[in-house]
Homo-oligomer: A and B are copies of this chain.
Amino acid sequence: MAGAGRFFEDFIVGDVIRHATPRTITLGDLALNQALYGNRYAVQSSDAFAQGVGYPRSPVDDLVTFHVVFGKTVPDVSLNAFANLGYAAGRFLAPVYPGDTLASTSEVIGVRPTSKGDAGVVWVRTRGTRPNGELVLDYVRWVLVRVAGGRPLPDPVVPTLPAVVDPAEIGGACPRIDASAWDDALSGSARRFDDYQVGEKIDHVDGMTVEEAEHQLATRLWQNTARVHFDGYAQKSSKIGRRLVYGGHVISIARGLMYNGLENAFHVAAINGGRHVAPIFAGDTLYAWSEILDKQTLPGRDDVGALRVRLVGCKDTTPGAFPLKTADGKDDPAVVLDLDLWVLLPR
C-alpha cells in the first residue's frame, strides 16, 4: 500500500533507494527556518555580510540542507521505525544557495535483527545531491525498524563508522573567505577560532518553548512524513499518548541557541555523531550548552578553523548546570540531545 513504508526485512545490504521528492530550496524556506529557529549567524542572515567575506550571496543554513535531504528518506527508511538511534560520518561537502535543488538516495550499509526478533537496526548512508549528481551532503544514520514477520531475518552486517570526521574531509560547504573583512560587531562577537580552548564549556543561556504548530510546520516544510509528528488522533492510543517532536527540530533549536557564546561558528561542517537521548513534546522548553572537544586547522586553509563541539540539548532545566550524566553514569533526565559537530569559525 502506498505510504505504508518498508519493514526490517525489506532492507537488503547494498540496495540503493532513490527517494522522492526532489526539492528546490527557496528564500521562502529560509524565512520559515528563521521564524522557526531564530538564527542570528551573520553570513546566513545578510547577503551584504556574506558578500563582504567572499560568498556570492548568503548560503543556505547547513541544517536546512540536512533537513531537506533527511526528510526525503523518511517514507522509505523510517516510516515503521521505533526510534532514530544515531548519526555518524555526516559531511557537508558543497555550498548550497537559494534556488538549488536537492534529491536524496540512501544505501543500506548494515542490518542487525534484535535478539527479541520483533525489530532490527538498519544503517543507511544517505547522500544529498544536485540534479547534476554533485554531492552536497552525506551522512549515516541508523534506526530501529519493525519486523513485518513471516520472512527469514538476515544475518547481521554491522558497518564500521568513524568516531569523528577527519578535518581534512570537511570545509567543502564553506568557500574560502576573507577573514580580514569579517566584522566582529556585525557578527556579534570578537571571539574567533583562536579564542576558544579545548575543554571550555559554554552556557547558551536562552530557552525556547516548543509549540505543536511550530514543529508541525517545520516537519511538513522538510517533507518529513513520520506519522508520530502529525497524527494526534492515532498518537492518543500509542504508548506515548501524544505527538512527538521531530528530532531535527530539536537539533535546529539547539543550533539557534548556540549563537550565544559561539556567534562566529558560522558553518556546521560535519556531524561526527549524535543521539536523541529523550523525546521532546509540545510545551517543553529547550536549552543548550556546548563543550569544546577539539580544535583543528584545515589543510591548506588559513581563513577558517574547526572546533569540535559537543552540543547538548536539555529541557526544563538550568542550562548553566551543564546536565549530561547522573552520578551512576546514566543520561541526566534533563538531556534530550547529544550531538558531536565540527563547526567552522573565522581565524
CB 8 Å contact bits of A193-228 with B (1 = contact, 0 = none):
000000000111111110111101111110101010
Q: Is the CB of A206 within 8 A of B230?
A: yes
Write the chain B residue with the least CB distance to A285: B233
Say if the beta carbon of A46 comes within 8 Å of chain B: yes
Q: Is the CB of A220 within 8 A of B22?
A: no
Chain B residues in 8 Å Cβ range of A31: 26-29, 31-32, 221
Say if the beta carbon of A327 comes within 8 Å of chain B: no
The residue in A213, A232, A234, A260 that gathers the most chain B C-beta atoms within 10 A of its C-beta is: A213
| A window 251-274: CB within 8 A of B | 256, 259-261, 263
Write the chain B residue with the least CB distance to A30: B28
Q: Is the CB of B99 within 8 A of A47?
A: yes
Say if the beta carbon of A41 comes within 8 Å of chain B: yes
Say if the beta carbon of A238 comes within 8 Å of chain B: no
Q: Is the CB of B185 within 8 A of A20?
A: yes
Identify A46's interface contact among B19, B24, B213, B260, CB under 8 A: B24
Say if the beta carbon of A188 comes within 8 Å of chain B: yes
Identify A263's interface contact among B20, B221, B263, CB under 8 A: B20
Q: How far is the CA of A263 from the CA of B76 in the complex (A)?
A: 14
Q: Is the CB of A203 within 8 A of B1?
A: yes
Say if the beta carbon of A189 comes within 8 Å of chain B: yes
Shortest distance from the beta carbon of A205 to any chain B beta carbon, whole Å: 4
Say if the beta carbon of A244 comes within 8 Å of chain B: no
Say if the beta carbon of A49 comes within 8 Å of chain B: yes
Q: How far is the CA of A260 from the CA of B22 in the complex (A)?
A: 16
| A window 294-311: CB within 8 A of B | none
Say if the beta carbon of A336 comes within 8 Å of chain B: no
Chain B residues in 8 Å Cβ range of A275: none
| A window 19-59: CB within 8 A of B | 19-24, 26-32, 34-38, 40-42, 45-49, 52, 58
Say if the beta carbon of A321 comes within 8 Å of chain B: no
Q: How far is the CA of A218 from the CA of B23 in the complex (A)?
A: 22
Say if the beta carbon of A187 comes within 8 Å of chain B: yes
Identify A223's interface contact among B30, B38, B285, B317, CB under 8 A: B38
Say if the beta carbon of A3 comes within 8 Å of chain B: yes
Q: Is the CB of B260 within 8 A of A185?
A: no
Given contacts A24-B46, A26-B27, A209-B231, 10 further A-B contacts (CB under 8 A): A3-B260, A20-B186, A21-B42, A28-B29, A28-B30, A38-B219, A48-B101, A103-B186, A213-B214, A232-B283
Interface residues of A (CB under 8 A from B): 1-4, 18-24, 26-32, 34-38, 40-42, 45-49, 52, 58, 75, 99, 101, 103, 131, 185-189, 202-209, 211-214, 216-221, 223, 225, 227, 230-234, 243, 256, 259-261, 263, 283, 285, 315-317
Query: Mind listing 14 A-B residue pairs with CB under 8 Å?
Result: A2-B202, A3-B206, A20-B189, A27-B27, A28-B29, A28-B32, A28-B34, A31-B31, A48-B131, A207-B230, A207-B231, A209-B212, A213-B217, A233-B316
